[in-house]
Amino acid sequence: MRYDIPLPELLDASGNYIGALRVVSASITETLAPLSTASITLPADETIPIRYFVKMYTPNGLAGIFRSRVPEEAYQSDTCTIELEHALSEVGDYVITEDLSVNDAANVVAAQIMSYYRGSLWTLGTVQATENIKATLDNANVLNALGDLMAALPDYMMTFDFDSIPWRINIVARPTQVSAEGRLSRNVESAIIERDDTELCTRVYMDKLPNGHLDADTINTYGVVERYITGDDATTEAEALTIAQKYLDLRKNPTITITISAQDLHQITGDPLDKIQLGTMYRLSLNDDSIVYEKLVTQLEWGDVYGRPAEVTVTLADEATNLSSVMAGMQLQISKVTNATYLLSNAISGDRERLDIMSREINVQGEKERREY
């Protein structure tokens, strides 16, 4: 198959077009949760200044605009490699200049967060989310605050419009319809299946719950795995039930991540290659399980866009909140080091403060062990 992929385009720090780049190779990792990344290799006599932008393409069209982060010039080589991160990183240059507590509809909170962005490249576009959000955003930068907002909105995802400046940030509902379905058999050589119970929870404790706790419908399958989450004094019983149920729905089964080539996924499901996009949902059954899984495309990895454009690795997973995933990983590490018990909070209330406490605890314990040694 012939691929006519446009060359990457160089933009200056203000987003103005400079020209096409003479690319040696390029790789792109598109992720459902920001930030997508890329890497580009150029002839040694051509480079990209730090904080300039590159418009990148794949056989599916525009992959996005990325900002130059780490140029690496090897004097003994005839090439120069530049690491890039999604242009959304630019909003992280601006901070929220006060202790900000929000309790409002998500679209209002999004506008409030973006009001602290004092640049000219980005603006808020369509925001379909209207759920009420309670959060504390203490002196965070705008990018982190947007990340915390999205962590509280697991049914939504960010999309971006790069048609004109300012570029637009959209918060839209994730697809709920299955694109295609199929069965993964053991003869699919590209498929890798990872199971992880780090975030597994079958019983959640929370103030205001009618019985003090809520059990998942998988508790008889996996046994009791408890977590404690917090609300605030204004949380009603109905709100506590909603929060606890959503928490359990995300964590009542071990997470399963499926990595597979786009070509194999296409053959299994019959879904056209150009329809395998971020956020697409697939229904897959595994030979080793009686459960049928509905998984989102959370990552597309193009290892060599121009050299091997048909070789695309697809990651299918349940997209749990980023901050909660980080906290769960830290929780596991802390329990190994100190045998202490920490309470995981939901992404709606106070995650950042608890994350900082966990980080400090790890550092303190590490210093203590070094002194004892």
Distance of CA 205 to the CA centre of its chain: 27
> Which range among 101-110, 236-245, 253-262, 361-370 shows the weakest confidence by mean pLDDT?
361-370
Question: What's the whole-number mean pLDDT along residues 43-63?
Answer: 91
pLDDT (tens digit per residue) in 194-206: 888 888 999 999 9
pLDDT at 254 exceeding the cut of 70: yes
Give CA torsion, residues 20, 22, 25, 26, to 10 deg: -20
pLDDT at 70 exceeding the cut of 90: no
> Which range among 31-35, 40-44, 92-96, 138-142 shows the weakest confidence by mean pLDDT?
138-142
Percentage of the chain surpassing pLDDT 90? Answer: 50
- Model pTM? 0.77
What is the predicted pLDDT for the residue at 368?
A: 42
pLDDT band for position 87 (50/70/90)? very high
Q: How many residues does the chain have?
A: 373
Phi-psi bin for 211: left (phi > 0), alpha (psi -120 to 50), beta? alpha
pLDDT at 349 exceeding the cut of 90: no
pLDDT band for position 12 (50/70/90)? very high
pLDDT at 307 exceeding the cut of 70: yes
What is the predicted pLDDT for the residue at 71?
A: 64
Cβ-based neighbours of 164, under 8 Å, separated by 6 or more: none
Please give the Cα distance from 251 to 319 (Å, whole number): 11
What is the predicted pLDDT for the residue at 305?
A: 95
What is the predicted pLDDT for the residue at 218?
A: 93
What is the predicted pLDDT for the residue at 136?
A: 77
What is the predicted pLDDT for the residue at 117?
A: 96
Cβ-based neighbours of 59, under 8 Å, separated by 6 or more: 3, 5, 274, 309, 310
Residue type, 360: R
- Cα radius of gyration (the chain): 22
How many CB atoms are located within 10 Å of the residue 266 CB? 20
pLDDT (tens digit per residue) in 138-190: 667 999 999 888 888 888 999 999 999 999 999 999 888 999 998 888 778 88
What is the predicted pLDDT for the residue at 255?
A: 85
Question: What's the whole-number mean pLDDT along residues 358-362?
Answer: 48
How many CB atoms are located within 10 Å of the residue 50 CB? 12
Please give the Cα distance from 142 to 158 (Å, whole number): 15
Residue type, 371: R
Map tokens 């949380």 to a residue. 235
pLDDT at 253 exceeding the cut of 90: no
Report the chain's mean pLDDT, rounded to a whole number.
Answer: 82
Residue type, 127: V
pLDDT at 44 exceeding the cut of 90: no
- Pick the more confident residue, 1 or 165: 165
What is the predicted pLDDT for the residue at 355?
A: 45
pLDDT at 352 exceeding the cut of 50: no
pLDDT at 30 exceeding the cut of 90: yes
pLDDT at 66 exceeding the cut of 90: yes
What is the predicted pLDDT for the residue at 139?
A: 65
